Amino acid sequence: MTRALFIVDVQNDFTEGGALAVAGGDAVAEAVSTYLAGHAGDYAVIVASRDWHDPDSDNDGHIALTGEPDYVATWPVHCIADTAGAEYDPLLVTDAVTHHVRKGQGVSGYSVFDGTTGDGEAIADVLAARGVTDIDVTGIATDYCVRVSALDALARGFHVRVFTDLIAGVAEAPSEAALAELAQAGADLEVSA
């Protein structure tokens, strides 16, 4: 068994005070950092993803530049490339991260697998090259990018654990539904050690 850790979108725009703030986002950043301090050595690959949307673009309809967003398929301006909102939350210590992934560059990308590393490498290729079979998922938001990233990993044949103490969702009911869906799809819902 070779394991990877996904840290999904722990960014300023998704934590307290951000454009699409999720309650508990700062706590997730801090808790993931604490987990990494004791467990980074458990992983062959540690991936941190960020939304990294193109400026002056609706990013394939993802960002509502005019009119009100519907908060389902269209969103307020957030995580624009090279802005403070797109940066990692300052409570997230990224020293152990082996691969930084940017997703949503000009498109609507929710899954870590939709992004690429700074070298343009697909994360699926990174995982394959290192023989990864298992992925642990943490981050923001349970009901959106965490959900889609975990489902994508399951669909690609990985064994997936979602650490329920290292995630935060936009809203309680859809987050609970997302976790139920993930469990039904084969993910293990666990508390981090």
Q: Does the global pTM surpass 0.75?
A: yes
| Phi, psi of 172, rounded to the nearest 5 degrees | -65, -50
Determine the length of the chain. 193
Query: Phi and psi dihedrals of 14, rounded to 5?
Result: -105, 0
Superfamily of domain 3-135: Isochorismatase-like (3.40.50.850)
* pLDDT value at residue 65: 79
**Catalytic-labelled residue, pool 9, 51, 114, 152:** 9
Q: What is the mean pLDDT of the chain?
A: 93
Q: Determine the residue type at 111.
A: S
Which one of 51, 89, 145, 152 is the catalytic residue? 145
Which residue type occupies 170?
Answer: V
Q: Which pLDDT tens digit goes with each residue over 98-120?
A: 999 999 876 778 899 999 998 99
Kindly report, residue by residue over 141-182, the tens digit of the pLDDT.
Answer: 999 999 999 999 999 999 999 999 999 999 999 999 999 999
Indicate whether 25 pLDDT > 80.
yes
| pLDDT recorded at residue 68 | 85
For 36, 47, 105, 170, 176, the CA distances from 40, given in Å and listed in that order, are: 5, 11, 28, 27, 28
| The two structure tokens encoding residue 97 | 């991260």
Report the C-alpha gap between 150 and 60 in whole angstroms.
Answer: 23
Q: What is the pLDDT of residue 72?
A: 77
Residue among 13, 26, 51, 103 flagged as catalytic: 103
What letter does residue 55 receive in the DSSP assignment?
T
The ranges assigned to domains in the chain are 3-135
Per the annotation, the verdict on 9 as an active-site residue is yes
- pLDDT band at residue 192, thresholds of 50, 70 and 90? very high
